[in-house]
Amino acid sequence: METLQDFYDEKGTITAISMHVTDPYNAKTTTLEIEKETGLKADSWIEINSQLLDLLNTQKVIVWLYYILIYITAGFDIANTLINILMDKKSEIGMLMAMDTSRKSITKIFLIESTILGAFGLLLGLVLEYFTALAIGSHEIELPAETYLVLTCMPMKIAAMNFFYATIFAFTINMIAGVYPATKASKLNPVEAIESI
């Protein structure tokens, strides 16, 4: 302390005091209480690191945009698969219609197929996602201590809610992607479909 006071030519004074709080998210309230009780200027870690926190919030938006693009791409892949199945099974669909199968039933068949494809894809994707996350987490990514204070490596947390959101969003996109080929199949002309054999 004396050495620092000599260095800054501030003998007998303390220019700053740092303190840790039990709840870091309640730091703003604590700083207001300190200012009220002491009349001194107090800054919370949230205010000091506001630029870094803004950057992290921006990154979250970008990450969600990437998620949406990935899910939409997956939806197009599912729709493309179902359309290919539709083209391959065109004659069978025509024969089903010729045997008085309702258009509603044809639509249901394709929606059920879309659901089955989506369910298998989701299960496989979730397993791969989990083990990939574990593999990434097993490698420590070093961070510059002077930038991130006490953090020396990038922290990683596998949250169950992320898997839940991904499942709901991906399955919804899957069902939407299945609607177009299902509708297209139900509108096929039976005669033209049978002639395509």
| Residues 117-136 pLDDT 10s | 778 888 888 899 889 888 88
Q: How far is CA 76 from CA 45, 106, 113, 180, 186, in A?
A: 44, 21, 15, 11, 20
For 166, phi and psi rounded to 5 degrees?
Answer: -60, -40
Read off the pLDDT band of 89 (50, 70, 90). confident
Q: Of the ranges 74-78, 96-100, 191-195, which is most confident?
A: 96-100
Q: What is the dihedral of CA 105, 108, 113, 119, to 10 degrees?
A: -150
Identify the pLDDT of residue 147.
59
Place of tokens 């069978």: 92
Identify the pLDDT of residue 148.
60
Q: What is the pLDDT of residues 130-158, one digit of tens each?
A: 898 888 878 777 766 665 655 677 767 78
Q: Is the pLDDT of residue 112 over 80?
A: yes
Identify the pLDDT of residue 117.
78
Identify the pLDDT of residue 197.
54
Judged by DSSP in three states, 94 sits in helix
On average, the pLDDT of the chain sits at 79
- Mark out the alpha helices in the chain (DSSP H runs): 2-7, 27-38, 45-48, 50-88, 90-98, 103-137, 145-148, 160-186, 190-195
Identify the pLDDT of residue 87.
74
pLDDT, greater one: 169 or 33? 33
